[in-house]
């Protein structure tokens, strides 16, 4: 079957009498919401087999259409490396599905919990239940993985799903909507397309949970829109993720990983290293090694098929503006090629010691621009991080365990990698999320299952009920019992 066959065999027709897979207007969206919410109440997905079947559908959607998916993402970016789409979108999506299929049946079983001797022989349980209808809002930078990741958790937890795709990646959004329509019943998953206006209306729907991935600025609007409905939110936001290069660190190893993180998807990664804290004496060497790294890994960057473009003209202009405002103040290109407005090619640059008031230090960069900030003592570096909003990720490079422990214990970030960048996001055994301005709530794997379930506490009484001795009129036994417990 070709990719086109998949699309033309779209099975939306089968379902149009009831619910709709692809939604383009606010009216359609509201009607679909009402129908899906009603279904989530009348037919909760309590059976693992049903959930597993939906995870199989998701896996098939991906495996049958990899090329088409990569192609449409690339069209949105003006060019996105197919290998990057495989490595950073398809691969973690497949492994996430396998993980949920392997463990989901166990996650959804009621769990026996401890109980105080005072209440025995009664017992305690936690019973995970589907929340119902979950809303998912997707950004443009990894539009596949950031749709699939939340979908895996929502499905494993037995929910129905409405997804709003990003208007900044419209080709992929349309492709994905058609694929969802083909592989899922619209009773299960529907996809909303359109601009910010429909996104605003989407965020006002009284979902049982709303999982939003995107900027911190819009995250605040999402939380405000959800508040009148008391809709619980998971906000996967952005911010500036620092790297601390410790005294005595192997610089070559640090540069290798930092540059990998800064060039992947041309720096448009929420957990890309944003800036590096490094001792002044190492900065020349850092830049030399970074240039060497670029020569080795991205030779002939203009024609190199592994290097992606900046998503659109306005993002390109924003970042080029940051660089232009620093000209003559320590800007070090890492290649001999200049950025190109027309093709939106932006080769990486290092900027040394920009001021705190500069755009690159005030904003999340989200592009291949890497500030090097100098520190004297480790305390200075830790204070620098702690004086700013809690980062989504923090990276520390070095071999001195006591220094690593100081960073680990004295900074608070969504996640931490030691001698690595980014890889914590693909650990399905770890929760992923931010803290403070970088996000609220975490998902992935079991954490995501629990986030999108109601973990209902259940107390099970037996026939032998000791509480019957504590009924009014409160007599001598009651007084003795209270005397023992009330100090
Ligand atoms: P975006 O512009 O694509 O927006 C994300 C979603 O918000 C889209 O679905 C869009 O339709 C919707 N939206 C936009 N404006 C809205 C509004 N006013 N009201 C309601 N909805 C609205 O993406 P973006 O925000 O530019 O994405 C980049 C940001 O996302 C960066 O800050 C990045 O760090 C962050 N990000 C975070 C993660 C994470 O997992 N924490 C992952 C990827 C990206």
**Claim to verify: residue 282 and residue 204 sit in the same structural domain:** no
8 in any annotated domain: yes
120-123: list long-range contacts, CB under 8 Å, 24+ apart: 121/462, 121/464, 122/459, 122/460, 122/461, 122/462, 122/465, 123/459, 123/460
Q: Which of 54-68, 211-225, 297-311, 468-482 bottoms out in mean pLDDT, i.e. has the lowest? A: 468-482
> Which residue among 140, 198, 215 is best mutated to probe the pocket of ligand 1, counting the most ligand atoms within 8 A of its Cβ?
215
pLDDT at res. 18: 56
Contacts of residue 86, defined as CB under 8 A and 6 or more positions apart, other chains included, come to: 66, 70
pLDDT at res. 327: 85
449 in any annotated domain: yes
214 touches ligand 1 (CB under 6 Å)? yes
Residue 17 structural domain: 3-237+442-455
pLDDT at res. 328: 83
**Per-residue pLDDT tens digits for 181-215:** 999 999 999 999 999 999 999 999 999 999 999 99
Q: Is the pLDDT of residue 487 over 70?
A: yes
422 in any annotated domain: yes
* Residue 231 structure tokens: 């809709």
**Per-residue pLDDT tens digits for 426-436:** 999 999 999 99
Residue 61 sits in a domain whose CATH number is 3.40.605.10
pTM, to two decimals: 0.95
227 in any annotated domain: yes
**Claim to verify: residue 54 and residue 197 sit in the same structural domain:** yes
**Per-residue pLDDT tens digits for 10-26:** 434 334 445 789 999 99
466 in any annotated domain: no
**Claim to verify: residue 232 and residue 316 sit in the same structural domain:** no
Q: How high does pLDDT run on average in the chain?
A: 95
Q: Can you tell me the mean pLDDT for 294-309?
A: 98
**Per-residue pLDDT tens digits for 23-51:** 999 999 999 999 999 999 999 999 999 99
* Residues carrying an active site annotation: 236, 270
27 in any annotated domain: yes
Q: Which atom of ligand 1 is nearest to 165's Cα? A: 9
> What percentage of the chain carries pLDDT values higher than 70?
96
**Claim to verify: residue 193 and residue 282 sit in the same structural domain:** no
> What percentage of the chain carries pLDDT values higher than 90?
94
437 touches ligand 1 (CB under 6 Å)? no
**Claim to verify: residue 200 and residue 248 sit in the same structural domain:** no
301 touches ligand 1 (CB under 6 Å)? no
Question: How far is residue 326 CA from its own chain's centroid?
Answer: 31
Number of domains in the chain: 2
Q: Strands 369-374 and 349-352, how do they pair?
A: parallel
74 touches ligand 1 (CB under 6 Å)? no
User: What is the whole-number distance in angstroms between the Cα of residue 166 and the centre of ligand 1?
Assistant: 8
85-89: list long-range contacts, CB under 8 Å, 24+ apart: 85/144, 88/142, 88/145, 88/264, 88/265, 88/269, 89/142, 89/144, 89/145, 89/148
Q: How confident is the model at residue 163 (pLDDT cuts 50, 70, 90)?
A: very high
Q: How far apart are CA 116 and CA 483, in angstroms?
A: 18
């Amino acid at each position: 079957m070709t990719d086109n066959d998949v699309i033309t065999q779209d099975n939306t027709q089968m379902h149009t009498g009831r619910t709709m897979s692809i939604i383009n207007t606010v009216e359609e969206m509201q009607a679909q919401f009402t129908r899906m919410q009603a279904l989530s109440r009348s037919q909760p997905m309590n059976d693992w087999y049903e959930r597993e079947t939906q995870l199989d559908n998701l896996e098939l959607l991906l495996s049958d259409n990899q090329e088409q998916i990569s192609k449409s993402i690339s069209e949105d970016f003006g060019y996105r490396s197919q290998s990057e789409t495989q490595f950073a979108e398809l691969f973690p999506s497949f492994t996430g599905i396998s993980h949920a299929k392997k463990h989901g049946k166990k996650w959804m079983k009621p769990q026996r919990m401890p109980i105080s001797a005072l209440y025995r022989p009664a017992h305690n349980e936690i019973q995970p239940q589907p929340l119902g209808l979950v809303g998912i809002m997707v950004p443009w930078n990894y539009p596949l993985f950031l749709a699939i990741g939340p979908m895996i958790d929502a499905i494993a937890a037995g929910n129905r799903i409405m997804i709003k795709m990003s208007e900044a990646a419209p080709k992929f959004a349309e492709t994905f909507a058609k694929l969802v329509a083909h592989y899922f019943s619209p009773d299960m998953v529907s996809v909303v397309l359109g601009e910010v206006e429909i996104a605003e209306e989407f965020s006002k729907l009284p979902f049982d949970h709303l999982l939003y991935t995107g900027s911190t600025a819009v995250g605040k609007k999402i939380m405000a829109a959800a508040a009148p409905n008391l809709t619980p939110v998971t906000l996967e936001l952005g911010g500036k993720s620092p790297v601390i290069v410790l005294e005595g660190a192997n610089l070559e190893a640090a540069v290798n990983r930092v540059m990998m993180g800064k060039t992947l998807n041309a720096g448009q990664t929420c957990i890309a290293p944003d800036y590096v804290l490094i001792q002044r004496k190492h900065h020349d060497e850092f830049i030399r090694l970074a240039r060497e790294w670029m020569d080795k890994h991205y030779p002939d960057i203009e024609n190199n098929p592994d290097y992606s473009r900046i998503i659109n003209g306005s993002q390109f202009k924003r970042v080029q503006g940051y660089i232009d405002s620093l000209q003559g103040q320590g800007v070090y290109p890492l290649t001999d090629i200049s950025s190109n407005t027309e093709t939106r090619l932006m080769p990486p640059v290092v900027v040394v010691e920009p001021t705190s008031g500069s755009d690159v230090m005030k904003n999340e960069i989200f592009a291949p621009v890497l500030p090097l900030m100098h520190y004297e003592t480790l305390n200075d570096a830790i204070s620098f991080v702690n004086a700013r909003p809690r980062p989504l990720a923090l990276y520390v490079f070095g071999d001195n365990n006591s220094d690593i422990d100081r960073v680990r214990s004295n900074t608070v970030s969504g996640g931490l990698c030691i001698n690595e960048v980014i890889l914590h996001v693909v650990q399905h055994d770890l929760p992923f999320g931010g803290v403070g301005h970088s996000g609220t709530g975490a998902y992935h794997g079991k954490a995501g299952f629990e986030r999108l379930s109601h973990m209902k506490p259940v107390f099970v009484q037996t026939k032998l009920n000791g509480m019957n001795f504590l009924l009014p009129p409160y007599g001598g036994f009651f007084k003795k019992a209270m005397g023992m417990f009330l100090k």
